[in-house]
Structures are given as C-alpha cells and as structure tokens.
Amino acid sequence: MASNKNTIQFHVPEPTLRRLPWYLAFAKLVLKKGELYLSSTQIAKNIAVDASMVAKDLSYVNISGRTRVGYDVKQLVDVLEEFLGFTNFHKAFLFGVGSLGGALMHDNGLEQFGLQIVAGFDVKYQLAGTSINHIPIHHIERFEELQQQTGINIGVLTVPVEKAQEVSEIMVAGGIKAIWNFTPYRIVVPENIIVQNTSIYAHLAVMFNRLNALKEAHV
Amino acid sequence: MASNKNTIQFHVPEPTLRRLPWYLAFAKLVLKKGELYLSSTQIAKNIAVDASMVAKDLSYVNISGRTRVGYDVKQLVDVLEEFLGFTNFHKAFLFGVGSLGGALMHDNGLEQFGLQIVAGFDVKYQLAGTSINHIPIHHIERFEELQQQTGINIGVLTVPVEKAQEVSEIMVAGGIKAIWNFTPYRIVVPENIIVQNTSIYAHLAVMFNRLNALKEAHV
C-alpha cells in the first residue's frame, strides 16, 4: 500500500508531521509485543494527546482502520515509515566538521530514519582527506564539484554560528535545496529553499529554566 | 547585572525561551563585529521575526535599552547567557550509550551551552569501564549509587525507543528531576519531573516531506 504522496503532501501541517513519528514509535512497540490491531484511542492514551487529534493526523496518511478494532499494526508501521520518508535513503552532505558535526557523523541512527551523510566539508585543510565513521571529509572548495557529480541536495549545517549565513549561501549556490540547520542562527535563504531548524541548545535553555523554576517552587 | 531569576522564571513562556537563544546568537555576532548598540528592530530584521515580539521576549530578561540607541550589546550577551543558564555548568548523566548517546558524548559544544555530561550508563556490561571523549561509562546498576554521591539530577535519555519508558522510570526513581528525551517516544512521568523532548528524527520527517513537496511543485 502506497502513501498517496503525490496528491496530499503539500497539505500536511508541520505539527502533524512532528507527531506522526511518535505514533510510529508507539506502533512499532505494539507490533513488537505481537498485537495485531491498534486504535487511535489507544495511541492517544499512551502518548497523552487527544484521540481526535490522532485520528485527524492519521487522516493525512493513506490508511483506514476497522470500526471497533482499529488499524492493522503492521500496515500502520509500514505506511507511516514510507509516508515519513524513513524507508528511502536521502543522501546528504554535512557542512562544518566540528564538535556537533562530527557527533552527527558518528550517529548511525540517522540512517535508520532515512538520512545518509555521505561526506563532510570543512574549511580546515588538515581535515581534508580524513574521515569519521568511514565518512570522508573534504575541503569545502570541493563541494560544488562533488555536488555536480552526485546531485545531492540535502545539506546539514553544523558550522559555528558566525559562519552560518555565509556557508548557507555557498550551499544554496552549489545546489543544496534543503538545509538542516543545527546552528542557533536564523539563516536567510531564497523562498524555494527548505530550512529545518533543530537548535538542540535552545532546548537546553528551556530545560534549565524549568529546572530552576522547579527548584524555587520547593524552597 | 543579574537576571532576576527568582521572581520571574515561572512566567517565561516556552516559545520565548526558544527564541532568546536566536537573539543571543545574533547579539554575539554583532559584538564580534565591534558594534556597541543593538535595537530590537535590528534583531527582528535579521532574524525575520516581528520587532514587537523581540521587545516582548526581551522584557522577560532584566535589561533595558536606550531610546533610539538600543541595548548595550555586551550587556545583552551577558544577561542573555546568564538568563538562559549557559554560564553555569549543569552536570548530567546520559542513559543509553548507543549511536546517538555516543554522538552526544562526543559533542563538546554542549559544554559551551552549560551542559556537562559526566557519565554514561548502559545495560551492556562490555561497555562498563570504557569511556568516550574522556567521559566514563558505567553499568546502569551503578546509577543510584553515583547519583547519591553526586546529586546530579539531569538525565539525557538516548536509549532505544522500546526502553524509553522503563529507563525513564529508573531515572526518576533514582533522583533525576529533568529528562532530556531524545527518543521519539512520549515518556510518561510524574508531574514534577521536567521533560524536554528533542526528537531530531521527527525534524527529518518534516524536512523530507517539504523536499518532496518542492520537487512535485517543479514537475
């Protein structure tokens, strides 16, 4: 069963796309336990969101449940994985082989979710020719040449914040269409370029603040 | 100048806390360029958010700008760093030294933002006694003992999804108060426990979807 990508993908709201992986994670767990069916109510209860929201989110995916029984778990897992793009390999270049960039190159988990980093680029000449986790590192000067050879259009941005804008412009000029931005900088790019911001350090700020608030509540 | 934490931190909304690191990143850049003052309008323009939102967000922080001149850049950087908790060292334990867990232990960037992972725990006996990036790895059995010795109450959760709930319960029982959850699983914890979800793979799903939509728009 295919996920009807061609007609509906423009219309999937980002909050839905962010929740679908939660449902997938839970469905995989249920599948592992050997259950055959799963209802949106069960998903909602375990994930602490509203059941009507689960049903609405799943309406974007091409799957239908059976009344009083729910979704076929195996089918739900397959359809969600394909819909979310986790079953395809999306090849990507990484820009900025510093601490976080190197860490992401170490993370084989990304491949399980469909992203394969095939090369890292850096301005440091001493890094060129080395590798991390069998992924080669090149000098940034070689990016355009390698982009033309491979057609890779996803770029992971892990440069220092003061280089974020400059490097994102190099990426776009060289053919990158989607930028996964791990810097805390809000890069400005042409309208037709996709930017996904993942500032893990901003999440730290939220956690520290909540932890302090908690401490003070107990004083 | 202190950040008046004790009276206002309960009231800072999460979207504000997520945006403040953007302003900080931009202010640092401006500081590096040698500028002395920065207005909320300038911040807004460069970061592509509304100027009134910047002013409102900064009203949570104890800093005041000068009319027609703006904020003192150096002071803005200092106050934001302190307010966001990036100037303190928050020690943390990491649970699940797999691919992503190991990658986070490799990322020295976390320390720049105030988080120091001081030990990793895993169920695999063969990992106990080893280390990554000079951070020791222990068997999970030793967690309670080491928690009691150190009082560390922040835990980074990077176990496989099917272990997320079980391990989060072990963490809470052993004294962890704040969980930075990198798994795509929505863990259920007591109300007084802080959970920060950072599912980087869910962001991948959003990016893949947008990239496909873009491709189809160009067909």
Look at residue B46 and tell me if it is in a domain.
Answer: yes
Same domain, B129 and B167: yes
Q: What ipTM goes with this model? A: 0.82
Cα A20 to Cα A13: distance, rounded to the nearest angstrom:
11
Which residue of B6, B113, B162 is in closest CB contact with A32? B162
The residue that leads in pLDDT, B6 or B59, is: B59
> Is A119 in a helix, a strand, or coil?
strand
In this complex, do A29 and B161 lie within 8 Å of one another by their Cβ atoms?
A: yes
Task: Check residue B116 and give its pLDDT.
Answer: 95
Q: Are A88 and A114 in contact (CB under 8 A)?
A: yes
Q: Is residue B190 part of a domain?
A: yes
- Answer yes or no: is B125 within a domain: yes
Is the domain of B56 the same as that of B144? no
B201 vs chain A: nearest CA distance in angstroms?
A: 7
**Cα of A103 to nearest chain B Cα, Å:** 4
Six token digits for residue A206: 């939220």
**Predicted local distance difference test score (pLDDT) of residue A219:** 53
Place of tokens 């922080």: B61
Cα separation, A40 vs A52, whole angstroms: 8
Regarding whether A65 and A35 lie in a shared domain, the answer is yes
Are both B119 and B45 inside the same structural domain? no
Q: Write down which residue in A32, A58, A83 finishes a domain.
A: A83
**Cβ proximity of B199 and A74 under 8 Å:** no
**Same domain as A107, residue A45:** no
Q: Are the beta carbons of A106 and B113 separated by less than 8 Å?
A: no
Mutate to test the interface with A, among B88, B186, B207 (most CBs of A within 10 A): B207
**Whether residue B184 sits in one domain with residue B164:** yes
CATH of the domain at A47: 1.10.10.10
Chain B residues near residue A107 by CB distance under 8 angstroms: 99-100, 102-103
Residue of chain A minimizing CA distance to B155:
A207
A107/B107 CB distance under 8 A: no
CB within 8 Å of A46: residues ≥ 6 apart: A26, B186, B188
According to DSSP, the residues that pair with A52 across neighbouring strands are none
Range B56-82 average pLDDT: 90
Of B12, B46, B216, the CB nearest to A9: B216
Per-chain mean pLDDT for chain B: 89
Hunting for tokens 């009276």 — which residue is that?
Answer: B7
- State the pLDDT at residue A164: 93
Which residues of chain B neighbour A184 with C-beta distances below 8 Å?
21-22, 24-25
Instruction: State which of B59, B83, B107 marks the end of a domain.
Output: B83
The C-alpha atoms of residue A152 and residue A177 are separated, in whole angstroms, by: 9
Query: What is the spatial distance between Cα B190 and Cα A117, in angstroms, rounded to a whole number?
Result: 38
Q: Which of B28, B192, B211 sits opposite A177 (nearest CB)?
A: B211
Please list every residue in chain B whose beta carbon sits closer than 8 Å to the beta carbon of residue A84: 205, 208-209
What is the biggest distance separating any 2 CA atoms in chain B, rounded to whole angstroms?
62
Report H helices in B84-141: 99-106, 109-112
Same domain, A147 and A121: yes
**CATH number where A133 lies:** 3.40.50.720
The residue out of B40, B58, B83 marking a domain boundary is: B83
| Total structural domains within chain B | 2
What integer pLDDT is reported at residue B219 of this predicted model? 53
Rounded distance, CA A127 to CA A95, Å?
12
Q: Are the beta carbons of A165 and A188 closer than 8 angstroms? A: yes
Alpha helices in A33-160 (DSSP H): 40-47, 51-58, 73-83, 99-106, 109-112, 143-150
Helices (runs of H) and strands (runs of E) counted in chain B: 10, 9
Q: For position B20, what pLDDT does the model report?
A: 92
Mean per-residue pLDDT, B190-211:
89
Q: Do B178 and A213 touch (CB under 8 A)?
A: no
Q: Do B118 and B197 belong to one domain?
A: yes
Asked if A56 and A117 sit in the same domain, the reply is: no
Cross-strand bridge partners of residue A90: A115
Contact A212 B9 (CB under 8 A): yes
Mean pLDDT per 10-residue run, chain A (219 residues)? 40 87 91 92 86 92 84 95 89 95 91 93 97 97 97 96 94 97 92 90 87 74
Confidence grade of residue B47 (pLDDT, cut at 50, 70, 90): confident
Residue A58 covered by a domain: yes
Asked whether A115 and A135 are in contact (CB, 8 A), the reply is: no
Q: Specify the pLDDT at position A159.
A: 95
Please tell me the distance in Å from A68's CA to the nearest CA on chain B: 25
Q: Which residue of A has its CA nearest to B8?
A: A213
* Domain of A152, in residue numbers: 90-203
**Is A96 contained in some domain?**
yes
- Same domain, residue pair B52 and B148: no
Residue A14 to chain B, least CA–CA distance (Å): 7
Torsion of CA A25, A28, A32, A35, to 10 degrees: 120
Domain identity same for B165 and B104: yes
Give the largest CA-CA distance in chain A: 62
Residues of B within 8 A of A46 (CB-CB) are 186, 188
Query: Residue A164 falls within a domain, yes or no?
Result: yes
* Strand partners for B119: B93
Q: Answer yes or no: is A8 within a domain.
A: no
Which of the pair, B168 or B17, is modelled with greater confidence? B168
Q: CA-CA distance, A156 to B200, in Å (whole number)?
A: 12
Residue B4 falls inside a structural domain: no
Q: % helix / strand / coil in chain A, to the nearest 5? A: 50, 20, 35
Whether residue A21 and residue B184 make contact (CB cut-off 8 A), yes or no, is yes
Does A54 share its domain with A74?
Answer: yes
| Neighbouring C-beta atoms of residue B68, cutoff 10 Å | 7
CB atoms within 10 A of CB A129: 10
B177-196, pLDDT tens digit by residue?
A: 999 999 988 899 998 999 99
Q: What is the C-alpha separation between A186 and A143, in angstroms, rounded?
A: 23
What is the 8-class DSSP label of residue A66? B
